[in-house]
Amino acid sequence: MTAAKDFRILGIETSCDETAIAILECKGDEKYAEFTVLGNALLSQIDIHKEYGGVFPALAKREHAKNLVPILEAVLEEAELLREDTQIITEETRNKLSEILAREPGLSEAFFEFISECEPPEIDVIAVTAGPGLEPALWVGINFAHALAFVWNKPLIAVNHMEGHLLSALAQNENGVLTITKTNLPVLGLLISGGHTELVVMNEWLKYELVGETRDDAVGEAFDKVARMLNLPYPGGPEISRLAETTRNVSSETLFKLPRPMIDSGTCDFSFAGLKTAVLNLLKTKEGLTDEEKRHIAHEFENAVADVLWKKTSLAIEETGAQTLVIGGGVSANTHIRRVFTEKIKSEHSDIALHIPSAALTTDNAIMIAMAGYFRAQRKEFVTAISANGNLPLA
């Protein structure tokens, strides 16, 4: 496989509660790469998990198994790669596929029906999230990818979910084509999600070092826990942001003051458990909350989070000599955090290039998995077996 060759990569993402598949046509290398999305589909399970106030792993696994084949068919059709024709499945092939899908009873029947009615599509590589994430959910996507790779005779790439977030944030949309142009190294990545809060530096392309991480709660986890304290609907992060913006549009003043944990610790590590506890202690002093008080708590909490994230990231920029800053992960969709970082970069680090993904790429999507898989495929990092790793580190 050469850098100049256009080829198609199928990406599969099932790390948590989004089932996603995408097909990208790719060309180029780390100096300049183009990605054309031929087909893309994502199905969220938010409505299913609402009653639990969070993601229930067994349900997530079941939904992935139920939805992967229909989503794949939809993506292949969108990409004009779906070729319906009766395929003869030998007993040997069927036995091998049954072995691969033995842990996915909700998937195997639909899978057999699909492959017996469709020709192998014209793709070159299959990339799938190997971690981090919920292991039961990860295994569904991995086993699905193994089965497709076997029956279609395609190479496999294992992708780190967080690398997908980081690399996709570098992409710019140019007339419907995602492009990554020459990136000035070092790249500092702030990765913020429900399960992660970490700073990593990329001094060489696709090689990462950990600069700082949370010592307790991830920032997205803190958003969700505070939202539950305020009796806000799930998912809590967007609800807190909505309330905070309502207050911010009226006044910058707040009725309450919350701490900024570890903001002056001199390290790039984070802590959000204390901030969460401070909200809990504040609520204990109240017999009941008015709507205005809820808005002000959300406002102050979001301000505190943004202050800490920026202070730690600014310190990391100085320590690493970063020339590019990337923010990735689900929490990067937060309006206030995006605003703070955009303003602070202009005023304090104007020589740094800031990359924040489009809203569509902040979710757990398959486009980012395909993009990361492409760069790994260039290095021929193909694998014959993938194991789910819920705590797979990037650095």
CA–CA separation, 272 and 311 (whole Å)? 14
- Residue 198: strand, helix, or coil: strand
Residue 5 has what pLDDT?
Answer: 54
CB under 8 A, 24+ apart: contacts of 289-293: 289/230, 292/255, 293/255, 293/256
- Please check whether residue 99 is in contact with residue 147, taking contact to mean a CB–CB distance below 8 angstroms: no
CA–CA separation, 216 and 311 (whole Å)? 18
Q: Residue 114 corresponds to which tokens in the numbers above?
A: 């699909």
CATH 3.30.420.40 domain locations along the chain:
7-166+362-378, 184-356
Model's pTM, two decimal places? 0.94
CA–CA separation, 45 and 361 (whole Å)? 17
- Please check whether residue 13 is in contact with residue 388, taking contact to mean a CB–CB distance below 8 angstroms: no
Q: Residue 312 corresponds to which tokens in the numbers above?
A: 């730690």
Q: Is the peptide bond before 235 cis (omega within 30 degrees of 0)?
A: yes
Residue 175 has what pLDDT?
Answer: 86
Residue 182 has what pLDDT?
Answer: 84
Our CA angle for 385, 10, 19, nearest 5°, is: 85
Residue 318 has what pLDDT?
Answer: 97
Class of the domain covering 184-356: alpha beta
What CATH homologous superfamily does 7-166+362-378 map to?
Answer: ATPase, nucleotide binding domain (3.30.420.40)
CA–CA separation, 381 and 378 (whole Å)? 8
- Please check whether residue 162 is in contact with residue 46, taking contact to mean a CB–CB distance below 8 angstroms: no
CA–CA separation, 101 and 19 (whole Å)? 17
Tell me which residue of 159, 204, 188, 99 sits closest to 377, measured CA to CA: 159
CA–CA separation, 76 and 70 (whole Å)? 10
Residue 3 has what pLDDT?
Answer: 42
Residue 52 has what pLDDT?
Answer: 67
- Please check whether residue 317 is in contact with residue 350, taking contact to mean a CB–CB distance below 8 angstroms: no
Q: Fill in the amino acid letter for 118.
A: C
Q: Is 337 exposed, middle or buried (0-12, 13-18, 19+ CB in 10 A)?
A: buried
Q: What are phi and psi of 348, to 5 degrees?
A: -115, -25
Residue 26 has what pLDDT?
Answer: 97
Residue 360 has what pLDDT?
Answer: 85
Residue 4 has what pLDDT?
Answer: 46
Helical residues (DSSP H) of the chain, grouped into ranges: 46-49, 57-78, 91-100, 105-115, 135-152, 161-169, 219-229, 236-248, 273-284, 291-320, 335-348, 366-378
Positions of the chain with pLDDT under 50: 1-4
Q: Residue 104 corresponds to which tokens in the numbers above?
A: 């996915």
